[in-house]
Amino acid sequence: MALLRRAYGAGPGHLAATLAGLLIAAYGIARIGQHGSWPRVAVYFVLAILAHDLFLLPLYTLLYAATWRVGRIGADRSRRVPVLRHLVVPTVISAVLFIAWFPLILRLPRFSGTLTADVSVYLSRWLIITAALFLASGALYAIRALRARGLPAQEAPPADGLAPGPPA
Amino acid sequence: MSALDRPRRQLRRLLAEGPGGPFDRARWTSPLRGPWMASFLSIGLAVLFGLDLLTGYLSYVAYQPGLPGNALTGGGLDRHLFGWTWPTGPAWLYGVTQGVHILAGTVAIPILAAKLWTVMPKFYKWPPAKSASQALERLSLGLLVGSSIFLVITGLIDISYWYAGLGFSFVAAHFYAAWVFLGALVAHVGLKLGVMRQAFRTRGVLAPLREDLRATAAEPFDAETSAPVAPAAPTVTRRGMLGMVGGASLALGAFLFGESFLGGLRGTALLAPRGQDVGSGPNAFQVNKTAAGVGIKPSETDASWRLELQGDPHKVTLSRADLLAMEQHTHELPINCVEGWSTLQTWTGVRLRDLAARAGVASPGNVRVQSLQGGGQFSHATLSGHQAGDDRALLALKVNGADLSADHGFPARVIVPNAPGVHNTKWVASMRFGV
């Protein structure tokens, strides 16, 4: 047992779980290999990871920077309701819908000639949904801002816990 | 002093300290990252991806790959695991399992993204592996991340009909990538269940959701988890972040789920790939493949069309008028598409088992149905004896009281309860019983 730990770097449970999992995965990989398309599938696997690291990571960082600024604005007691947050939330939801359905929204070339379904409707639908999201968020902001105005500054509730404390 | 001293020193320092940037754990400052967040998101992913594995398995069974010509993927172990007979009832079952499959996979996207965001510091580990165990663990993790993103993206591409540049067979790639995912998931759960148990034991499962911003603190740093070395002040609560993620999931689901339903709910499927308005009339429902698109010529489906029934040893040839003269049966049955949409219509036609009897076959056995379509994966399908023997399994001539339209398979199409949509072969040319 000690020998295993020294040579492998973990206990037998770790080895068993990893090997069992990799064995199942190896079956899938072997079968893809027999289908002849494995180089392309492998490229897609790597691209999937790279796309995440090189595209989404910078996006998250920007988003984080944006919410950080919201936090700073929230610290200013004169603005108890964070306006930026009411912009960030509908923007993110709209962006997620776009990322999932962009081939439809942008009418990208389709496996067609066989399909009658019309895809011209999706761009306008997505735009209308986006507008509705911003409208709802704006209405919510207006209600919260009106409510916050009625309260004296000291008793103002931490608007959704937005006033940041001192750096941890 | 050798000229190589400086590069050597630099290399030694690089190996010892790492290349910096994302490899420097101190740069990952969000206080929300940590084992609790990773574990909480994992519960959501486990439920959704678990449903996808289960319904994906059922869908593979529904295609009955053990019958001649039905398998869309290779041999291997598959047929032994997927060989059992797919039932013909309830008729809506495949509509539910595929509706769940597409819905679960789609709403998982924001949760998967949030999970990857949470554990991202651990992807940039220096050195990448210190032991054989860490190397294997990283390999399984790479397969898990790669396969989960691959499955989501290929699934979305498939239901959006955006085939540009895929360059491989969707079915085989999606299916075997699911095997890779399953294997990597087994390893991941085996290795991380302890971390999850520990995180929930220390912090509670739901307690962190109740913290306001003042109480939002980072979890203690541990190189083995994604908790930050030097956390920044929180700008959002854990509840806030998860609300954002859940809101995005809800939005994805809200504009999609209606395509599995009929009536008013269908109108909510604004962003579903098959959520278009199909107009009105007896033949106004979704078409995947048009007659023109698959090269059916009008001269093939006019009065000269004949249905060829191959029995043993009989061979019978019937015109459409002959079929209409046989006993007609009417049933309300859905088309349940693998892409997650369903549509319920009223079909009228001849029972498949009456056709078998006409060809001199007492019990239909397996039936190979061939379309006029020149080629393609679904120009033919083999139905089991169980399917062909069902009272509601029809060779339909009419829908909603009107003749089938060209795009819905005129002169005749198969409709079998609970079969995958594409096994309801259109423009039927011949049927061979007892294959």
Which of A41, A54, A110 is best to mutate for the B interface (most B CBs within 10 A)? A41
Given pLDDT bands bounded at 50, 70 and 90, which one contains residue A78?
very low
Q: In the predicted model, what is the mean pLDDT of residues B250-267?
A: 89
pLDDT of A53 above 80: no
CA distance A134 to chain B (A): 14
pLDDT given at position B75: 64
> Per-residue pLDDT for A161 more than 50?
no
Q: Contact, B238 vs B216, CB < 8 A?
A: yes
* Better pLDDT: A113 or B261: B261
Task: Give the type of residue at B53.
Answer: L
For residue B283, the chain A residues in CB contact (below 8 A) are: none
The confidence score (pLDDT) of residue B83 equals: 63
Q: Where residue A68 falls among pLDDT bands split at 50, 70, 90?
A: low
Q: How many other β-carbons are positioned within 10 Å of the β-carbon of residue B245?
A: 22
Amino acid of residue B51? L
Q: What is the C-alpha to C-alpha distance for residues A44 and B208, in angstroms, rounded to an integer?
A: 37
Greater model confidence, B89 or A149:
B89
Burial of A19 (0-12, 13-18, 19+ CB in 10 A): middle
Q: Which among B187, B189, B214 has CB closest to A165?
A: B214
Contact B145, A49 (CB under 8 A): yes
Which of B21-30, B177-186, B410-419 shows the lowest per-residue confidence on average (mean pLDDT)?
B21-30
Q: What integer is the mean pLDDT of B184-192?
A: 95
Instruction: State which of A152-156, B3-7, B319-323 shows the largest mean pLDDT.
Output: B319-323
Which of A14, A27, A129 is closest, CB to CB, to B255?
A: A129
Q: Is the pLDDT assigned to residue B382 strictly greater than 50?
A: yes
CA distance linking residue B233 with residue B36, whole number of Å: 18
Amino acid A154: pLDDT: 45
pLDDT, position A115:
59
Average pLDDT over residues B381-398: 96
SS3 B336: strand
Over range B138-161, report the average pLDDT.
92
Asked whether residue B11 carries a pLDDT value surpassing 70, the answer given is yes
pLDDT at A70: 58
What pLDDT, on the 0 to 100 scale, is given for residue A2?
84
pLDDT tier at A16, thresholds 50, 70, 90: very high
Mutate to test the interface with A, among B118, B235, B283 (most CBs of A within 10 A): B235
What length is written for chain A?
A: 168
Q: What band does B330 get if pLDDT is binned at 50, 70 and 90?
A: very high
Q: What is the DSSP letter of B219?
A: P
- Average pLDDT of the segment spanning B152-167: 82
Q: Angle CA(B56)–CA(B57)–CA(B58) in degrees, nearest 5?
A: 90
Which H or E run includes A137? Answer: helix A121-149
- Look at B236 and A96 and tell me if their CB atoms are within 8 Å: no
Whether A162 has a pLDDT exceeding 50, the answer reads no
Tell me what pLDDT residue B258 has. Answer: 92
State the nearest Cα–Cα gap between A150 and chain B, in angstroms.
22
* Nearest Cα residue to A11 out of B132, B12, B99: B132
- % of residues, chain B, pLDDT over 70: 97
More confident residue, A28 or B330: B330
What's the pLDDT at A157? 44
Q: How far is A31 from chain B (nearest CA, A)?
A: 7
Query: Do residues A27 and B178 make contact, with C-beta atoms less than 8 angstroms apart?
Result: no
More confident call, B151 vs B277: B151
Mean pLDDT across the stretch B321-343? 95
B232 or B19: which leads in pLDDT: B232
Give residue A84's pLDDT band: very low, low, confident or very high (50, 70, 90): confident
In chain A the first and final C-alpha atoms are separated, in Å, by 43
Q: Which of A44-58, A107-121, B223-237, B245-259 has the lowest mean pLDDT?
A: A107-121
CB A4 within 8 A of CB A15: yes
CB B94 within 8 A of CB B418: yes
- Give me chain B's average pLDDT, please: 91
The pLDDT, as a whole number, for residue A69 is 62
Give yes or no for residue A116 having a pLDDT over 90. no
Picking from A52-66, B101-115, B121-135, B208-222, which range would have the lowest pLDDT averaged per residue?
A52-66
Please report the pLDDT score of residue B71 as a whole number.
Answer: 83
For A126, the closest chain B residue by CA position comes to: B271
Residue A118 has pLDDT above 90, yes or no: no
Give me the pLDDT at residue A132, please: 97
Please give the pLDDT value at position B286.
87
Angle subtended at Cα B299 by Cα B298 and Cα B304, rounded to the nearest 5 degrees: 125
Residue of A43, A47, A52 best to disrupt the B interface, most CBs of B under 10 A: A52
- Chain B: give the shortest CA distance to residue A26, in Å: 7
